[in-house]
Structure 1
Amino acid sequence: MQVGRHQTFKTEDAAFVLQDAIDASDVIGRWEYDVQNDRACADAMVAMVFNVDPLLARSGTSIDVFLAGVHPEDRERTTRQFERHVQSGGCWVFEYRVCSADGVIRWIVDRGRITHDAEGRPIHGDGVLVDVTRMREEERSGDLEDATAARHPLERAAEHCLAFQRTIHELPEPLLQRMSDMMLIELGMALAKVASKPQRSPLN
């Protein structure tokens, strides 16, 4: 994997801007990928979460630049999953950690899809990123039961669906895997609609 151009944002201002924007909505942002030209584009929020220069992300760069922002312990697995789905096409739901511009390690759910042309060649990808760090922290702290009662029903459903999806993907059952992926994607889109109702951050 090539090491891409990263922009380091270690100032207090960058940390506050990024965290405030994520707190406003768990939906981080969108990305698009021109497969044939290996050109990935994303908005400023996605760029900062992956510790990529926002100007570079806006104009487009190699997908390797974004993959370099994935946590080292998750990078190889995530890269393999992404490459496999580029070749097979269709929708996916990945969960992995990223090393963000403010120095914080975040858990994200990446819901995406790759479309193929009439000859079966991958041509275009797009997706949405959702921050699930808070849920992971609640699981580690043992406060999940109390926190769950206060969360939106869709968030609780997504939590159980994530656990179901991870388990199903351990089995050699392609149909069940696709069904679990689609369920999580539908829940994610419903959550995105709920999250879009409050006032959005200026970065989005």
Structure 2
Amino acid sequence: MTPSLKSALAASGYVGVWETNLATQTVAMTGALPNLLGVDEQRAAAGVPVSAFLEGVHPDDRERVAYLIQEAHRTAGRFEADFQTNDGPGGVRRVAARGRVEVDADGRGHRCLGVVLDLGDGGLADLTVSAQRLRAIDRVVDALIAVRPLLADAGSPILRTLIDATLLEFGRLLASQMEQADRQIN
């Protein structure tokens, strides 16, 4: 990830990304994700065990999220979960996480890449954002995550940066819509 993209993620305060090495079961996290999970940012950037990630998930959701992670890794599939994080400086937060396991030439999963959005202290059920629009954004984000590994073969860092920037912009768009919906509720 480029330094400018890392800075943009950190500045957003509500978008984070992760990369899980399936061989070592370590997760590198940047942007808002370390803070949401209560993980030291430097430790998170270097990579922490999946168990450290799960410690930041609220106890009510931890078992379900652990199962979804395990299934995505086992099947080299997609990870999708909305869950609460632990009480921290910002209190309990709702997040939406979407990711996909990349496979090697033999079809075995080798890493999982994903994005997480801070949805605030309410849940998706509290928002007036249309479900159809959320599904459309989710499909686009899912497709972009799927395209990222193909760009490694293309040898163009510019294309990968554009995909990363597009993912960031979708995060901003979604957060903006949710802030507007939150204002309507309150």
In the superposition, the TM-score normalised over structure 2's length comes to 0.63
Runs (4 or more) in structure 1 with deviation over 3 Å come to 24-27, 159-162, 179-190, 193-197
Aligned to 1:108: 95
Q: Secondary structure at the match of 1:67?
A: helix
Flag structure 1 segments of 5+ consecutive residues without an equivalent.
1-20, 149-155, 166-178, 198-204
The whole-number CA distance in structure 2 between the counterparts of 1:193 and 1:45 is: 12
Deviation, structure 1 residue 124: 0.8
The whole-number CA distance in structure 1 between the counterparts of 2:83 and 2:110 is: 24
Aligned to 2:25: 38
Could you report, residue by residue, the CA deviation over 1:161-204 in whole angstroms, capped at 9, with x for unpaired residues?
Answer: 66xx7xxxxxxxxxxxxx9963674699463263799xxxxxxx
Aligned to 1:9: none
Whether 1:182 and 2:161 are equivalent positions in the alignment is: no
Aligned to 2:50: 63
Deviation, structure 1 residue 136: 2.3
The whole-number CA distance in structure 1 between the counterparts of 2:121 and 2:143 is: 21
Aligned to 1:119: 106
Alignment partner of 1:191 out of 149, 153, 170: 170
The whole-number CA distance in structure 1 between the counterparts of 2:36 and 2:124 is: 17
Flag structure 2 segments of 5+ consecutive residues without an equivalent.
1-8, 145-165, 177-186
Preserved contact between residue 30 and residue 129 of structure 1 (Cα < 8 Å): yes
Q: Secondary structure at the match of 1:31?
A: strand
Could you report, residue by residue, the CA deviation over 1:32-53 in whole angstroms, capped at 9, with x for unpaired residues?
Answer: 1111011211125211110111
> RCO greater where, 1 or 2, for CA within 8 Å and sep 6 or more?
1
1:8-157 equivalences under 5 Å are 25=12, 27-43=14-30, 45-102=32-89, 104-133=91-120, 136=123, 139=126, 148=128, 156-157=129-130
Deviation, structure 1 residue 120: 3.1
Q: Please report the RMSD computed on the Cα atoms of aligned residues, expressed in angstroms.
A: 3.6
Aligned to 2:182: none
| Structure that is richer in helix per residue | 2
Structure of greater Rg: 1
Change (3 A) 1:117 1:26: same
The whole-number CA distance in structure 2 between the counterparts of 1:135 and 1:191 is: 20
Identity in percent: 25
